[in-house]
Amino acid sequence: MELILSKFTKRFGATTVISEMDLHVGAGEMLALLGPSGCGKSTTLFAICGIHRMDGGSLHFGDRDVTTLPAQRRSVKVVFQNYALYPHMSVSDNIAFPLRVKRHDRATITRKVGAIAELVHIGELLDRKPAQLSGGQQQRVALARAMVREPDVLLLDEPLANLDAKLRLEMRTEIRRVQRETGITAILVTHDQVEAMSMCDRIALMRAGQIEQLATPVQMYENPANQFVAGFMGNPPISFLPAHLGERITLSGGNSLPRPDRLAGQGPITLGLRPEHLGPQFGQGLRGTITFVEPQGREDLIDVRLTGGEALRAILPSGHGHAIGDSVDWGVRGDRLLAFSTDGERI
């Protein structure tokens, strides 16, 4: 079901945390609310599920106005970061609780619990207590409990934050699979851009209560709206260098790059270079010294200090033959170079 949030405003006391935010999530879509901590993404989530009252604006699930409905009567479920399983109940009682509250009969409950347990692959764990489960299994139970009554909207609040790296990869695909198979509309709140990019159809990147950009992961990575978005997306992160836009793009220390035709204007700019767009395969232009090499197996992360003192990071396939202290003269991939005005807007 479609979710439409319009002119949403939230205040805590005298501080306005979010003002007039609009958000539209299509039916069956999975959207990420991404941003640094304190950007208002959790506040938005809590307003959607009805834990926080909205101070302004409206919220629709499909045609239904749920702005003032209490949480119990909205068809929305949250999977919390710590899963919030009921520790005194067995797994099947946990999953059955939402159905018991609605007074479904015993046969229906057994059938639905069995079906959802199959979907999230916890069929053999139904008699255990939450304390006897691993983190990933608890996550699956929480997902099952949230999905068992087939809510209109599923909200996921940092669902992977408490898992170790390997489980995180596994649950990432699992959550996405369950979401796809059921076709549920879902919102994922996270501060991890890798999670957001890998799991979601679209990403809303938030800062200070505002949506900075709302786009597909690829668009957002390749075509960021401003310096904040460019800096937030990508791991290892993009490098920013002060530069001057004239005939060429000039950096301090005598380095310069050819100016791409698409850039208009002149004057001081901030240059954004992603690690994968810097290296010997792109010709020459930036001279410097390698200060650090961080092997990652398949590729190496290489820190370069330019002659003008700026620090840059490149990523090269293993076996490149460079070592700490080497002098290099590397080029950049001109069509993927990003430029920002001094106030952070994209040029």
Residues that bind other proteins (CB under 8 A): 49-51, 71-73, 76-78, 80-82, 84, 86-88, 97-98, 101-102, 129, 131, 145-146, 149
Burial class (CB in 10 A: 0-12, 13-18, 19+), 84: middle
Q: How far is the CB of 79 from other proteins (least distance, A)?
A: 9
Whichever of 146 and 243 has its CB closer to other proteins, that residue is 146
Angle between helices 135-147 and 91-101 in degrees, nearest 10: 20
Largest CA distance in the chain: 78
319 Cβ partners below 8 Å, 6+ apart? none
Whichever of 44 and 270 has its CB closer to other proteins, that residue is 44
Whichever of 77 and 172 has its CB closer to other proteins, that residue is 77
As a whole number of angstroms, the distance between CA 130 and CA 84 comes to 10
Whichever of 80 and 282 has its CB closer to other proteins, that residue is 80
**What are the strands of the beta sheet with 3-12, ordered from one edge?**
15-25, 3-12, 56-61, 64-65
Q: How far is the CB of 73 from other proteins (least distance, A)?
A: 8
Q: How far is the CB of 94 from other proteins (least distance, A)?
A: 9
As a whole number of angstroms, the distance between CA 231 and CA 272 comes to 9
Residue 93 C-alpha from the chain's centroid: 32
Q: How far is the CB of 86 from other proteins (least distance, A)?
A: 6
Q: How far is the CB of 284 from other proteins (least distance, A)?
A: 55
Q: How far is the CB of 136 from other proteins (least distance, A)?
A: 18
What are the C-alpha distances in Å from 16 to residues 40, 45, 68, 157, 337?
10, 16, 20, 22, 37
Whichever of 153 and 337 has its CB closer to other proteins, that residue is 153
Whichever of 143 and 245 has its CB closer to other proteins, that residue is 143
